[in-house]
Amino acid sequence: MDSKFNHGDTEARNNFVFRVLFPSIVMIGVSALFFALNIHYSFALAAIQEPESDSAILARHMHEVKVEYALEEFSDHSFNAGFTEQELDSIMALERTSIQDADMFYSPDSAFKIAVLEMEGCGAYCNPFWESWLHFNDGSELVIGNLDFARIQRIEKMPDGKYLIIDQMTGRSAIHVSVTNRATLISTHDHQYRTYAIPKIPSEEMKYDSALFIGQSAFIDTDLFIRYDNISARLNYQYATEDLGDYSNSDSLMLYNGYFQYENGAFIFKEEKSSVIPYNED
């Protein structure tokens, strides 16, 4: 009797376990698994969607430039993709070239940013040069490369959605060091990079592409600038030169001031004045 009772009791317990507890345990386990997978997926998705930091972008461009120099130095079969950064730096040093600085510049509306690397190449004298890339900030991951913006001083957004980029560069020829300011009008509509011509100024000896260039000796202590005034929509410029034309006084400089007016989506040259000023060597 006891044995039969115990057997029936055991069978009842087994039925309870398999019919009630086991499905509940399975459901709890499945729910826990999906919860864990969901957390993992959320973290993975966040990692994928997390935008690349400015420092990471600059480091990537620096590495790309170093690899380009290494590829030029070695044939395809001898290039080692596992070169360390120190080894890549040494390869660039063979060409007497180095990366001096890296920076990121944002448009006023943060629609894009421009990564700029300042390089230095040395021969008889060392000269800086620049490489730059335009990155869109809308999650598209599109990049416009092969640009040559230098030390960007300012990015202005124009009334019609274009952008004015003002940058500065230096150069050396023998003992002569010059400073050049440049203004470039661009648009990035529909992820298409386009430049727009700025007319030649009367005192400019030659026209460079579509940008406005003005420059002077680095030893001239006179303010060199290109500035855009949002209120008046004027692009003002000033520079000085030792070329006095009909004047022969070596203690004097020719100072040029002028401006453009922004009208209907373009810069229109309006005026330039010149005057002789004392030469103050810095």
Burial class for 144, CB neighbours closer than 10 Å (0-12, 13-18, 19+): middle
Residues forming a β-bridge with 131:
117
Within-domain flag for 162: no
Region of 96 on the Ramachandran plot (φ > 0 left; ψ -120 to 50 alpha; else beta): left
Within-domain flag for 59: yes
C-beta of residue 138 within 8 angstroms of C-beta of residue 119: no
Within-domain flag for 7: yes
Cα–Cα distance measured from residue 157 to residue 164, given in angstroms and rounded to the nearest whole number: 6
Within-domain flag for 158: no
The dihedral formed by the CA atoms of 202, 203, 207 and 211, expressed in degrees to the nearest 10? -90
Cα–Cα distance measured from residue 27 to residue 25, given in angstroms and rounded to the nearest whole number: 5
How high is the pLDDT of residue 19? 55
Same domain, 93 and 35: no
How high is the pLDDT of residue 206? 62
How high is the pLDDT of residue 60? 95
- Tokens for 261, please give them: 């007016």
Same domain, 204 and 119: no
- Tokens for 122, please give them: 């040395």
275 closest CA partner among 249, 251, 253: 253
Same domain, 185 and 277: yes
Within-domain flag for 231: yes
For the chain (length 282 residues), average pLDDT per consecutive 10? 48 51 50 47 44 92 91 66 84 92 97 96 92 91 91 97 97 86 95 93 73 90 94 97 61 91 96 86 52
Same domain, 6 and 114: no
Range 60-70 burial, b when 16+ CB lie within 10 A, else e: ebbeebbeebb
Same domain, 36 and 69: no
Same domain, 58 and 46: no
List the domain range (segments joined by +) for residue 190. 167-282
Neighbouring residues of 90: CB distance < 8 A, sequence distance ≥ 6: none
Cα–Cα distance measured from residue 194 to residue 164, given in angstroms and rounded to the nearest whole number: 12
Same domain, 171 and 279: yes
Neighbouring residues of 172: CB distance < 8 A, sequence distance ≥ 6: 125, 126, 127, 178
Within-domain flag for 246: yes
Within-domain flag for 265: yes
CA angle 180, 184, 189 (to 5 degrees): 160
Q: How many CB atoms lie within 10 A of CB 131?
A: 22
Within-domain flag for 157: no
Strands (E), 174-263: 176-187, 194-196, 212-217, 225-229, 234-241, 252-263
205 closest CA partner among 194, 213, 197, 196: 213
Cα–Cα distance measured from residue 225 to residue 237, given in angstroms and rounded to the nearest whole number: 5
Residues forming a β-bridge with 180:
169, 215
**What 3-state DSSP class applies to 38?**
helix
Q: How many domains does one find in the chain? A: 3
112 closest CA partner among 49, 151, 165: 165
